[in-house]
Structures are given as structure tokens and as C-alpha cells.
Chains A and B, each alone.
Chain A
Amino acid sequence: MENVNFLYDLLGKNIISVVLVISLPLMFVLVYALIAILAELKVSAWIQERLGPMRTGPWGILQPIAEVVKLIQKEDITPDKSSKLLYNLAPFIIFTGAYAAFAVIPFSEYFVPAGINLGLFYIFAVGSISAIGIVMGGWASNNKYSLMGAMRSVAQLISYEVPAAMAVLSIVVLASTMNMQEINKIQSGWFWNWFIFGGPGTIAKLWVIPFTMGLGLIYFISSLAETNRVPFDIPEGESELVAGFHTEYSGMKFAMFFFAEYANMFVVAAVLTTIFLGGWNSPFNDFMQGPIWGVFWFVSKAFSVVLVQIWIRWTLPRFRVDQLMYIGWKVLLPLSFICFMAISLYVMLK
């Protein structure tokens, strides 16, 4: 599979173009994280009949920048009895895990940083790196709350990766490829060609639509758990564990956790968009279809998913640890197996 990448077409494959290709997603993550933080502040305010930040810039749009500046100025505390190396390494590992996933996210027909064939597999592989960072941070902090938060977090990440992987695997069966760019191309055309509506096919695909929609929901719920968002924010459950695994962190290291959380939110939203919502395809066949519009469709679809995550966060209470495990293993996993079987049957009969 050749790399489809406009920068390589323009500049040839040399050191400059490679660095550009690597840094484009980084710039995107930084800008996106600022916007997402602002969205979180504003959406929560509107849900709660408040105004949100209004002082920094017009309608408070500079608030996230002010917060980052504040975090940079803060004292960088390393607890006395912590294990220094692990403690200082953890935030970077977590951010690396979140950022590495951007390598295979297809932003447009002509831009995917690395168009490898096992894109979806790769995302799940690097997504688990953050679990290591969380355990490191939680254990090295030498704080009981951090330790409990880290333990819960890892249990949660491992449990919810299974149903999420089953949901993704079902779509892989439908698309018969793991390359995210290919999956996008299959879904081109009208929006009923998206995999959440059963993918392209004849009228016979109607009976498979409930299963693909169910899978979309299962993936979305699992992704909430994987990114530690409400109602699954048990690892950092404020009311019992203060701030979970990052209780002891301050300043820029805390900001790294913050950025990683928002980057992770975008990664899961991007995967959901790619495999269920048609990726960079326009919903209306050729209307506004194209490489540049592709970026627009992709980012707006993924950001809508992020907004739904924010909306849920400010609406629901949180689960308890055992309830979380129950939902993961006894509800989502069997359901995803059923959907997987149904879709396999559909593909066999097709």
C-alpha cells in the first residue's frame, strides 16, 4: 500500500517533509486541546445555566491559553519520597501513547501521517502504553490515593479494551481491511454507506443495521471508559480519590496529563469517526467531497463526538468500581460477541 500524502507528493520524501508530516498532528493536537478545554468550560457552563469564563478575551475564548500559562508558571513539585525517575517519566509516557496514535489517523484522502496496513491494530497497541504511564505515575507518587487510582485505572483500561476491540474487529470483518484509509474509501457515497448503517450493500443489509449501530454504541461506551471520562472516571474519582493517579503532580507535568486526556478523547473519537461515521467522506455523496473538505468533515465529525463526551460528563453521576467491571465483562462483552457473530454471518452470506 503506497502512502497517500500530499506533503510527500509536493516535497518528495526527504527529511524536511518527514519532519513536517510528524509535526502537523502535533500542532493539531495542541490547537485542538485548547479548543476542547474551552469547549469543556463553555459547554459545562451552558448546561449549568452559567456563562463560563467571560473575562479573558471576548467571551473568554483566551481562557485555555491563560490556564496553560498559569500551569507553566507553577512550581514543579516532586514529592520527597517518590521514585524520581518513574515519577518524572510518567506524564511523558502517557502523552506519547496518546500522541503516537495520531500516526495512523486519516485526516483526509491525501493526508495520513503513516498509512500502514495494520492501522487499527496499531491504535490498540499504542493505546495501551498509557496504562503503563498511569501505573508508573500512581506508584511512583508514593501516595495511597494515587496508587488506588492507578490500580483502578489499569483494571478499567484492560477490561474495556476487549469490547472496544470486538467492535472494531466486527467492522474489520465487514471492511476486510485494517487500513484506516481503505476503510474510509469503502464508505464513500451517501451517508447510508457508513458502517454504522451497515456499510455499502444491497437492501439485504437492512437486518445488519441494528447490530452495527449497537457496535457503534458499544465502542462509544468503551471509549468513554478508556479515556477515563464520566461516568467511568473512577480512576480520578474526585470525591473519593482526590485526583487519582495524578494527585501529586503539578505544573507542566499536570498539564501533560491534561493534554494527554484530551488527545486521547480525540483519538477515540477519530477511530469512531473513521470506522463508523465515514471518516473524511461527505454525508451527501459528491456534495463538498474532496481532500480539503475531507479535513473539514473529519474534524467536525470527530469534534462532535468529543462534544457528546463532554455533554455526558456534565450530566451523569459516576459508577462504582464493581459496577464498572460488571458492565464491561457481563454486558458489553457478550453483546459485542453477539454483534460480531451476526456481522460475520452477514459477511458469509453476502
Chain B
Amino acid sequence: MSDKKRLDLEYSQLESDRMRINVGPQHPSTHGVLRLEVEVEGEIVTEVVPHLGYLHRCFEKHCEKMTYLQVIPYIDRLDYISAMNNEWPYVMALEKLMDIKVPDKVEYIRVIMAELNRIANHQIAVATFGLDAGAFTPFLFFFRDREYIIWILEKMSGARLLYNYFRVGGLAADVYPGFKEDCLNIVKQVRKTNAEVMDLLIYNKIFIQRSANVGVLSPDVAINFACSGPVLRGSGVKFDLRKDDPYSIYDRFDFDIPVGLGEVGVVGDCWNRNMVRVNEMEQSCRIIEQAIAQMPDEGDVKALVPKRIKPPKGEVYMRAENPKGELGFYIVSNGTDKPERIKARGASFVNLSVIPEISKGYMFADLILILGSIDIVLGEVDR
């Protein structure tokens, strides 16, 4: 055999193999116990399959064995980063079913709590997204601020993370003295840190290179996959339940809905999704300021509700804008004090389903960024 021929033979045998990597469930940047089965060709991702269920806690079955009030602590454990927001659609659904009118003061406190928690959630989202890109310092800047927010929520509810604060027709406790000043200080601090992080991370040249034009989610794909929240708005679709299906008292406030504008990169990429969250923090600050100014000082924080919650026979669906997207509760009542069936529609679960669609053809390092930009919480994905 001539030399040339032997060489040809060897080259033909050098087929590059695709490698299957399990990212997770124990991995520094899967944001929980998610397992991604990734097929890579060199560094290029050719296939992604998310595997769920590592945090499944039978939430929906549990609820059927519990009274309506006992369900609330379980709801905290869905999206444990924004527990206040989680409780809201649930109690609203029951209020709708039982036809309860909630006092004005309660509505204002609920709005402030939800928006504070929204800021805390977005801080974690932006911080961990930066961490996925390798920037450690902004992560700690955000966590320092989040601590102040958590102190307020702790003073209000007694818990740092899982609040169990909302009640059907009211709240667990009234505001504490000095609550308004604390909130206004937080707003100031959040704005200061955001300005700092803009310089340090968001408009950093390396960060832009990493996250712009990566993981592009086009608007029609986002709508087809029923994405919601910043993932949908990052693709340029202006849809926010607080404006488009106003619940509670959101129609009384003046705020904008940030969408991905393609200021850097293209609309729908990781950078724009992340930017929507940064802008939403500012809008939440505006809502908090207005709510503090309008909030009545007097009044009870409980409507007249019977001690045992016994909604009439029937079914109800109520949805609210969670920091991660649309969170809905479908409740079937059989007239007793225990629900017949509760179904939760979690935003993280729906948003996660878009990952295989948008991460093919990008590099392995980009996959981690795409996952970070979707901002999932496994408690809500697995339930």
C-alpha cells in the first residue's frame, strides 16, 4: 500500500464523535436540580434535552388533602425566590370564588410586597446571569441589596424567604412603624446599585460580546411556546398582565412595560432578556413610590371573612404577573373546606420548554448563558 493511500484510509477513520454530557443535576450553573442532557460536537451544541423531576414534591396532590389556608405555605415553595408573588394569585382566586371585596389598604400593601419581591427576584436573576458569564462582583452587589429587601419582608411576615403572609381577604399582619421610610430607602439603594451594575456588567464590552446575539428567541416562537414574563418581553412582545389584564389596583399606577429593544445585539437575545429585568426593577421602584404615596394609613388589613374558608361549589382560574412570567391557579371547589383540585400553571416550567428550541447551534458556554437568561426556579418547574 502506498503512503498516500494509507493516509487516506487513516483520515477516513477519523470521524469526529458526538459527546453526550450530563449537565446537572449537580452542576454549579443549572440554577437548581435541573439535568440537561447535552449533545455536543466539539464545542457546538447539537441537542439539548431537559430532564425534570428531581425536586418533585407532589404539590398538587398535597393540596387536595389540606384546607385552603394550609395550602398557602406550600405555594411559597413553588417559586421560592418570589414567594409573595406566588401567594397572590391563589388568594385572589379564592376571593373571586367567594366574592370577597378586599380593603384598599390591603391592596396597597400587597402591591408593595409583590413589587419588592419582584425586585429581589430580578436582582437574583441578573446577578446569577452575570455569574454564569463569569462576573462575580455584581453578584455580591445585588445580594447585598437583596438582603435589605428581605429585612423588610421579614419584618412584615416573620420569615426571610417563605413568607406565608397573604390570607384570603387580607394579610397576616399590618405594616410596622417606619415601613414607608424603609421602602423609600430601598428604592434609592436599588437605583444606586443598578447604575453601578450598568457600568460594571451590563454595558461591559466582554459581557456584551458574550450575551448579545446569543440564544435568539423570535417573537412567534415565544408566543407558540406560551412563554411569558421577561422571556416573552425580551423578544419584543409587549405583554404584561399588570397592564393587559389588570388585577388588583395596578390600573391606578403609572408605569411602563419594558421590552427588548435590540439596543445591543438583536431583539430576543440573552442580553435583551436580561436588560428587560434591569428595566423592570426601575418600573417596580416607580410603582412602590406611588403606592407608598397613595397608601391609606388607617384601616384594617382583614376583610370580613369566615374563619373556615369554604368556597361555594365551582371552579375558578386566576392569573397574575409573577417576576418569572404568568402564574395561574385553577381551583375546583366541592363546597367543603378542602379543594377538590388545584392546578398551578408555572411560568418557569413553560419558559424552560423553549431551551431545546433556542440553544441548538450555539456553543456549550452559550447554553449556560441561555439557561441563565431564561431565569428558572426548579421549585416551580417540578412542583
Residues of A at the B interface (CB closer than 8 Å) are 44, 47-50, 144-145, 148, 230-231, 233-234, 237-240, 242, 314-323
Contact = CB atoms under 8 A, between A and B. Distances in A.
B191 interface: no
Contact of A321 (B134, B207, B363): B363
A82 B206 CA distance: 36
- Which of A145, A234, A316 gathers the greatest number of chain B CB atoms within 10 Å? A316
Contacts of B132: 239
A240 B29 contact: yes
A219 B133 CA distance: 25
A54 to B, nearest CB: 16
Given A48-B140, A48-B141, A317 B368 contact: no
A316 B21 contact: no
27 contacts: A44-B136, A49-B140, A49-B141, A49-B144, A144-B21, A148-B364, A233-B134, A237-B365, A238-B29, A238-B134, A239-B28, A239-B131, A239-B132, A239-B133, A239-B134, A240-B364, A240-B365, A314-B136, A315-B137, A316-B134, A317-B133, A317-B135, A317-B207, A318-B133, A320-B363, A321-B43, A323-B209
B137 A48 contact: yes
Given A48-B140, A238-B134, A316-B204, 20 more contacts: A48-B141, A50-B140, A231-B134, A234-B365, A239-B365, A240-B368, A242-B28, A315-B135, A316-B134, A316-B206, A317-B130, A317-B134, A317-B206, A318-B133, A319-B209, A320-B366, A321-B43, A322-B43, A323-B209, A323-B210
A148 B45 CA distance: 13
A322 B363 contact: yes
B304 to A, nearest CB: 48
Contacts of B141: 48-49
B27 interface: yes
Nearest to A152: B43
Contacts of B364: 148, 240
B201 interface: yes
B138 to A, nearest CB: 9
Interface string B258-291: 0000000000000000000000000000000000
Q: In terms of DSSP, what is the predominant structure of the interface of chain A?
A: loop
A320 B140 contact: no
Contact of B201 (A48, A50, A317): A317
B66 interface: no
B19 interface: yes
A277 B21 CA distance: 46
A319 B367 CA distance: 14
B8 to A, nearest CB: 26
List the 7 shortest-distance A-B pairs measured between CB atoms, nearest first: A318-B134, A317-B135, A317-B133, A239-B29, A48-B140, A317-B134, A239-B132
A314 B200 CA distance: 11
A233 B28 CA distance: 16
Interface in B221-254: none
A238 B28 contact: yes
Contacts of A318: 133-134, 206, 210
A238 B365 CA distance: 10
A145 B40 CA distance: 12
Contacts of A240: 29, 364-365, 367-368
A316 B365 CA distance: 16
Interface string B117-155: 000000000000011111111001100100000000000
Interface string B90-127: 00000000000000000000000000000000000000
- Which of A318, A319, A320 gathers the greatest number of chain B CB atoms within 10 Å? A320
B140 A316 contact: no
A159 to B, nearest CB: 15
A158 B287 CA distance: 54
Interface string B357-373: 00000011111100000
Given A239-B29, A240-B365, A240-B368, A316 B144 contact: no
A320 B141 CA distance: 24
